[in-house]
Amino acid sequence: MQAVKEIRGKMDASGKKVAIVVSRWNELVTKELLAGALDELARFGNPEVIVIHVPGTWEMPVAVKSLLAGPNKPDAVLALGCILQGQTPHAKLLGGDVGGALMSLQVEYKTPIAWGVLTPDTQDQAIDRSGMKFGNKGREAAQAAIELISIVDQVS
């Protein structure tokens, strides 16, 4: 029988650096995503955290690239925002463009970028996903980042 090595992420961010890029647009929602992410990071090892506030989701990729290309590169980045769908295709285009840009940066810099950007149809759905009925997507992004930091460390 063939030997199989399994790699699993550990939920411990002790001694790590995490950056959070959070959109001010839809701040009613994004402040709750940020609070959930910060709480989760503290719960899993309390890493060094820098929070960068950007005007909107569109501005996230340039802020993330500046972090990753800089001298104090974090071990992971959390992208937190909220793009409400409207009656035009603007929101879908924005979400796709920002998601694609962040995915490219994640691969280029070999650094986890956790997607904590909501794309709900309504404000009520956004509120439900930022800490009410359906959990907090900021918390979930923090958990994904912590786990992926460990995986990257193990395979590098």
**Neighbouring C-alpha atoms within 13 Å toward the C-beta of 22:** 26
Structural domain boundaries in the chain = 17-155
The pLDDT of residue 134:
77
CATH fold label, 17-155? Rossmann fold (3.40.50)
In the residue annotation, 90 being an active-site residue is answered as yes
Q: What is the mean pLDDT of residues 25-34?
A: 94
Enumerate the β-bridge partners of residue 89.
none
- Marked catalytic residue, from 90, 96, 123, 124: 90
Q: What is the mean pLDDT of residues 83-99?
A: 84
Give the model confidence (pLDDT) of 67-79 as tens digits.
999 999 999 999 9
State the pTM of this model.
0.93
Which residues, including other chains, have CB under 8 Å from residue 84's CB and lie 6 or more apart? 26, 91, 120, 121, 122, 123, 126
From residue 78, how far is each of 5, 86, 122, 139 by CA, in Å? 29, 25, 23, 10
